[in-house]
Structure 1
Amino acid sequence: MNAWPAIVGAAMGFGLGAAGSLITKRFSGRRAGIASSWWLGAIVTALVLAILAWRIGHRGEFPVYAFVVALGVPLSIIDWLEHRLPRIVVVPQLVGGALGLGLLCVARADPSPGFRALWALLAAAGFYLLLAVLVEGGVGSGDVGLAAVVGLMTGWSGWAELAGAVVLASLAGLALLLIPGNRASRVVPFGPCLLTGMTAILAVAA
């Protein structure tokens, strides 16, 4: 199998991850320590994008996924440390992903995946909004916004992919909730769970 897409993806991820560490530092401050180091963000993003590029190849979805994942890595770290997902990062992530998929619809003259992605966006955001109402303090507005991103990205591939991402994220969140400290405070960083579920599904479904 051709390894060049993975090599290009890793190189792109290294640069984007190093730049993304600036976002981590901006919203985590001194608490971040190693978590906000440029090399950690670079390595993690390079690894994830190498896997996605290897699976997706030269298809047009890769730049869109790369943009979303590159912002997802610092968001995951920020949520893990600070238990918040800054809208100033989530909103551009959502808008950029939607614009990228919209351009693919135009280029391919096929709007059906785009419409499905929009419905999936609403479904995922609505589900997490319901959780935010029912589970006091468990799910925040940032989680709802990020769920919209996950719905958009996975819904582009299909409804089964969206369901798979939500199930994986829920299982990861449940596992984190079982950690003694999290169980006592009932605070779980859903951001990393959502983004891990999304990335895993995108890689498998490619």
Structure 2
Amino acid sequence: MSLNATLTISTWAAVGATTAVTMRSITAAHLRGPAAFRSHHSIEQVTVAQAPRPPPDDGLAIGQAAITAVLFGMLAWRFGVRIELLAFSCLAALGVPLAVIDAVTMRLPRQLVHPLYPICVSPLALAAVIEDDGPRFARAAAGMFVLLVAYLVTAVLSHGGLGAGDVRAAGPIGLTLAWAGWSALLAGTLFSLVIFSAMATLAKCGVNSRLRQEWPFGPAMFGGAFLAILTR
């Protein structure tokens, strides 16, 4: 790896860490909000449901910053200094706190999901214009629509198996995956299912496995998407 590439990756990773630090208060606000008190437990419903979730501590903030920095660095390594790097990095910047919030509260707040659409679409549209690659952007837009509809149909047929936040988040995830290719879209979807299955299996082996009835899909969605983006 050349010196310039190393500097680019290191610099962008530092940008990611800084971004995560600025997002800390937003994450904390959603974790302290009323929705954070929701519970999906089968026993001890009253006591567990009314117990407030703890706000993010320094360890959580450091972990969030570290994950975001690693993702930014790996994305810079994967794409280099290109306009589409901004779209994937924006997905990481909001995807990490969204995964954290969903893991705690079982919801993906629309206040953080909705901005993903313009901040992911804009850089990819600009890249398509500069690189004169309209078909690629059309494929990305089609991927956004396909995954959004697929998740919506799944949510309806599963009678709440997927939440509205999961459906909304499918749009920008489908957009960025399809920009990388149809194979990336398929791989990202499959990776998400595998990660979710592994998370649910491991969690059921834990000490509180009797209490939890539902598991968040958001962390698996974003994890699978980035795994596909970085490996396709």
TMscore range, shorter length: over 0.9
Instruction: Give structure 1 stretches of 5+ with no counterpart.
Output: none
User: What whole-Å deviation, never above 9, does each CA across 1:105-142 have from its counterpart, x for those lacking one?
Assistant: 11122211111011111111111111111222320010
* Cα displacement (A) at 1:59: 2.0
Identical positions, percent:
30
The question of whether the paired residues in 2 share the 8 Å contact of 1:79 and 1:191 is answered with yes
Matched, 1:64 2:87: yes
Query: Is contact 2:192-2:224 (8 Å) kept?
Result: yes
> Is the helix fraction higher in 1 or 2?
1
Aligned residue number for residue 98 of structure 1: 121
CA distance in 2 between counterparts of 1:54 and 1:199 reads 13
Write out aligned runs for 1:22-41 (5 A).
Answer: 22-29=25-32, 31-34=54-57, 37-41=60-64
2:83–2:126 contact (8 Å) kept in structure 1: no
Alpha-carbon deviation of 1:37?
4.6
Q: Letter of the aligned partner of 1:57 in structure 2? A: G
CA distance, structure 2, for counterparts of residue 171 and residue 136 of structure 1: 21
The one-letter amino acid paired with 1:191 is G
Listed one character per residue, the Cα deviations across residues 73-97 of structure 1 (whole Å, up to 9, x for unaligned) are: 1000000000000111101012210
Equivalent pair of 1:19/1:38 in contact (CA under 8 Å): no
Take 1:9 and 1:56, find their aligned partners in 2: how far apart are those partners? 12
1:200 corresponds in structure 2 to 227
RMSD: 1.8
Question: Structure 2: how far apart are the matches of 1:35 and 1:70?
Answer: 18
On the 8 A contact 1:137/1:186 being kept in 2, the answer is no
Q: 1:183 to 1:98 in 2, by over 3 A?
A: farther
Q: Following the alignment from structure 1 to structure 2, what is the Cα–Cα distance between the partners of residues 13 and 77?
A: 16
Shift, 1:71, TM fit: 0.6
Q: Offset of 1:63 from its aligned partner?
A: 1.5
**Correspondence 1:81-96 to 2 at 5 A:** 81-96=104-119
Q: TM-score, normalised by structure 1?
A: 0.92
Q: Quick one: which of 116, 121, 133 aligns to 2:156? A: 133
Amino acid paired to 1:157? A
In structure 2, runs of 5+ residues without a counterpart are 33-52
CA distance in 2 between counterparts of 1:92 and 1:36 reads 27
Tell me the residue number matched to 2:171: 148
Judge conservation of contact 2:191–2:224 (CA < 8 Å) in 1: yes
Residue 33 and residue 78 in structure 1: after superposition, are their counterparts in 2 closer, same or farther (change >3 A)? same
Q: Say whether the 8 Å CA contact 2:155–2:161 is kept in structure 1.
A: yes
* Residue equivalent to 1:14: 17
Mark the CA change 1:79 to 1:104 in structure 2 (over 3 Å): closer, same or farther.
same
